[in-house]
Structure 1
Amino acid sequence: MRSAVFYWFMKYIVIGPVLKAVFRPWVVGREHVPASGAAILASNHLSFADSIFLPLMLDRRVSFLAKSEYFTGKGIKGWLTRLFFKGTGQLPIDRSGGKASEASLNTGLEVLGRGDLLGIYPEGTRSPDGVLYRGRTGIARMALEAKVPVVPVVMVDTDTMMPIGQKLPRIVRVGIVIGPPLDFSRYEGMENDRYILRSVTDEIMVALQRLGQQRYRDVYASTVKNQRPADRDGAPEADPRPEPAATGTR
């Protein structure tokens, strides 16, 4: 109860009114977000600001899985960051892989099990250059295990407002485009089939690419981030259409 009151206070009294007045965010397709019940909001990820504006512009509470470093900072800055992330409904996760990935999956399933909205960035990290990258299959596993729809969401111009590495935002109007929910009930009981998980994930990425018309590269964003700057333009591009689930080629 205390958490819900704090979230409401931050969204409608402290943060929300200021951000809406300054950045004048717009939304298309708000009606595609279910009025009740659990669902996953699958969004492209351009900026730190994505996790701020999407929950701000929806009537329902959205919980995002955020890297744990945002909750462990020291000093006044660390305290303010932690306060902000807790106040906007974000949940700390360890992104080191292995058992940490399983714990993150369980955290997301707990949110969905309560009938709430869970925000996920399928790319796994922010795009380093505004390109849409290959999705990680964790989102597919959550959708199939929880038996929930996936709503594609495209953030617009948040990278112009606050690029990676910039500390203060530019005054730019940002937008959100929300597409129709994707139903994966045809794959019920197949959440442990890696080919099915890849097929579902690719279908989500296709929906995001079509909705936002972003350029697409069929490599992971984390791989591109680890490349030397001079090598990034050489990353292979591909049509984002998913391969058949049972081809066995991946």
Structure 2
Amino acid sequence: MTIIIRTEKLCKTFSSGGNQQHVLKNLDMEVRKGDFTIIMGSSGSGKSTLLYAISGMDQPSLGEIEFAGERLSTLNQDGLAVFRRHHCGFVFQKMHLLDNMSVLDNVLASGLLVQKNKKDLVKKAKELLGNVGLPEESWRKFPAQLSGGEAQRVAVVRAVINSPEVVFADEPTGALNSSSSDRVLDVFTDVNRNGQSVVMVTHDMKTALRGNRIIYLKDGVICGDLDLGLYEEGGSRLETLQHFLAEMGW
């Protein structure tokens, strides 16, 4: 399969009070185009640090990241911002929706950074909002008027409005109840089945089951890589993941 992201000897070090914390250690990884990649590991293993590095949100201390044929180290901050705008979508545990904008305007604000035909963009935004189960009467609501699950679905639509090559998600269901979590995960599954790559950090086993590939981090290095195959309910999928995580010491 085509490799969309590749890291070479990736390192990330944080300094605090004269001490250095080595969070990522000479990490080599490939992300395949079209995969739903899950990054797991215990707290402090480097999951989110890795996600922010490969998405261009944060710069590594050492090493290289190649994303869609571009070496991110060759781009300045403005260049990285433009690159992310065209190639990446982001969904976080905290939705970061703009409180003073409606649901529709939150989505359009992201889309207009890339697309200039507002009429076509509005049509696409409305289609996507409908596809994730948000009825038309909710499009003029403000974020404070939405449930957590509804707000997260808006965040997913905002992330995919520009058809990015990769959608990155950092614990996107961590603050949701079970039913809202399932609905949001269904949206990610649909996004992936429509051809977009997804890279998601999670500590939740139910969420991890949605991925077709599980990467396990421990102390800043990859210590396990599991191919789960395409998502489908039932079967031995859960048992396979449980066995893998037990081997990893999770």
Q: TM bucket by the smaller chain?
A: 0.3 to 0.5
Structure having the higher helix fraction is 1
TM-score, normalized by length of structure 2?
Answer: 0.38
TM-score, normalized by length of structure 1?
Answer: 0.38
Structure having the higher strand fraction is 2
